[in-house]
Amino acid sequence: DIQMTQSPSSLSASVGDRVTITCRASQGISNSLAWYQQKPGKAPKLLLYVASRLESGVPSRFSGSGSGTDYTLTISSLQPEDFATYHCQQYYSTPYTFGQGTKLEIK
């Protein structure tokens, strides 16, 4: 199985901050990476796929980058509704696997 390691596991930030979350795969995944946002008691919501492609309807302050084994999610200017848990997922090979999640909290 491909192991996905997210960092940090939690993060405190303020509205307006620029935030970056990292996801590292245990082997190369050729940009087969998705990012999801999950709010308490809700299902995850797809934000980006193919590492950097924005899902329809997702604000442009969200962006993704990376290649090989290392990928990042950046939120350029945090808004109040962005405080949530973020998950990365590799779908390069089955079993698809997720990072452990990054909880983004208000400072």
Partner 1 sequence: QVQLQESGPGLVKPSETLSLTCTVSGGSIGTYYWSWIRQPPGKGLEWIGYIYYSGSTNYNPSLKSRVTISVDTSKNQFSLRLSSVTAADTAVYYCTRERGGLGNSDYWGQGTLVTVSS
Distance in angstroms (rounded) separating the CA atoms of residues 14 and 75: 12
Residue with tokens 């960092």: 7
Residue 84: CB atoms within 10 A of its CB come to 19
Under the binding rule (CB under 8 A), the answer on residue 32 touching partner 1 is yes
Under the binding rule (CB under 8 A), the answer on residue 7 touching partner 1 is no
Under the binding rule (CB under 8 A), the answer on residue 57 touching partner 1 is no
Under the binding rule (CB under 8 A), the answer on residue 17 touching partner 1 is no
Whether the CB-CB separation of 55 and 48 falls below 8 Å is answered with yes
Under the binding rule (CB under 8 A), the answer on residue 97 touching partner 1 is yes
Three-class SS of residue 20? strand
Under the binding rule (CB under 8 A), the answer on residue 64 touching partner 1 is no
Binding footprint of partner 1 on the chain (CB under 8 A): 1, 32, 34, 42-46, 49-50, 55, 87, 89, 91-92, 94-101
